[in-house]
Amino acid sequence: DVKVTQSSRYLVKRTGEKVFLECVQDMDHENMFWYRQDPGLGLRLIYFSYDVKMKEKGDIPEGYSVSREKKERFSLILESASTNQTSMYLCASSLLAEEYYGYTFGSGTRLTVV
């Protein structure tokens, strides 16, 4: 089974802190994604990456950056955490193939910024 591992299940950070959310996948997937999930808003795409050192902005990139130095690892960075970034963060990966079977998700990181 493909596994996508997010380093923290719960995280509490202070306003203004720099926060790193880590995601690692073990099946050589090309694409990796960061979403945030909020009640009533569904999943909104923050950033994605289709190759090492490549990144594309999603729908809500403001206040976030990403890093992909190795194919298996995709990090989400909150440069200066704010309370409105309190949310559930989901990492996902997918394989580029003729037949597409969707994402494999990590189990999420619930981030609280106080």
Residues that bind another protein (CB under 8 A): 31, 33, 35, 40-43, 45, 48, 50, 56, 58, 88, 90, 92, 94, 100-103, 105, 107-108
Could you tell me if 81 and 14 are in contact, meaning their C-beta atoms sit under 8 angstroms apart?
A: yes
| Nearer residue to another protein within complex by CB, 33 or 74 | 33
Q: How far apart, in whole angstroms, are the C-alpha atoms of residue 79 and residue 63? A: 7
| Nearer residue to another protein within complex by CB, 2 or 77 | 2
**Least CB distance from residue 101 to another protein, whole Å?**
6
b/e sequence 98-107, b meaning 16+ C-beta within 10 Å: eeeeebbbbe
